[in-house]
Amino acid sequence: MKPIKRAIILCWVMLVACLIIKLLGGNWFEIAVNNEHFTRLCEKIDNNMFLLYGMSWLVYIISANWIMAACSLLPIPKTYEMISNVICFSFVWSMQFISNIVKIIVEIVAFIAIPIAFNFFRNRENGVRKTIKKTWFYGIIGYIFIFLFQAISLVTRNIGIKFTDDSTLVTFVLLIDYYIMVVLYYLYVLNYRKEKGYG
């Protein structure tokens, strides 16, 4: 658990350092792409609506499932939970076509409500109050930290939040630290469960 915890702290320290550099006028976080094959691939994705939206949706669904597994303290979700996540977060992802503010609000509600629901249905004998008490820290607080990490990462790298307009392969490369944080949080919760004997 300690190496994972250290890695999470290191990611935060690096991100805050990058943000301070950015606020002081530094701009070290742009990618100058000189590789013709990579540039052509980016253009192909950007110019193909199905590829652009498909890639955006796929990456969002994968990261949402990892976050949800960690937030719900259920790192190995059941089949119906995985299907529920895909349906729910496909709906959340589609909200960006209406408004990014609406998407963020719906996403926050989903990341708080769904972990509570999953835990309640797995252990109904605990009741709603005990379930909320069990999941509030790793669910609500964990999601808030991941959300803040992504928001700071977007600001630091001058990336817009509306991926439907300006998403490219470069955007996903620039956000690699966010995806690393998602995986680290998942592994942290997985180890936490083992240490506490949750199975």
Q: Residue 127's pLDDT is what?
A: 63
Q: Residue 91's pLDDT is what?
A: 92
Q: Would you kindly state where each structural domain of the chain is located, as residue ranges?
A: 2-22+57-196
Tell me the average confidence (pLDDT) per consecutive run of 10 residues in the chain, 199 residues long: 83 86 68 64 77 84 84 76 88 87 85 78 67 68 83 74 50 77 84 66
The pTM is what?
0.74
Looking up tokens 């991926």 gives 163
Reduced to 3 states (helix: H, G, I; strand: E, B; else coil), residue 23 is: helix
Q: Residue 130's pLDDT is what?
A: 67
**Could you tell me the CA-to-CA distances from 17 to 11, 29, 108, 166 in Å, in that order?**
10, 12, 27, 26
Closest CA to 150 of 23, 82, 60: 60
Q: Residue 162's pLDDT is what?
A: 44
**Could you tell me the CA-to-CA distances from 131 to 73, 81, 124 in Å, in that order?**
11, 17, 9
The Cα–Cα gap between 119 and 132 comes to 9
Q: Residue 163's pLDDT is what?
A: 44
The Cα–Cα gap between 194 and 199 comes to 6
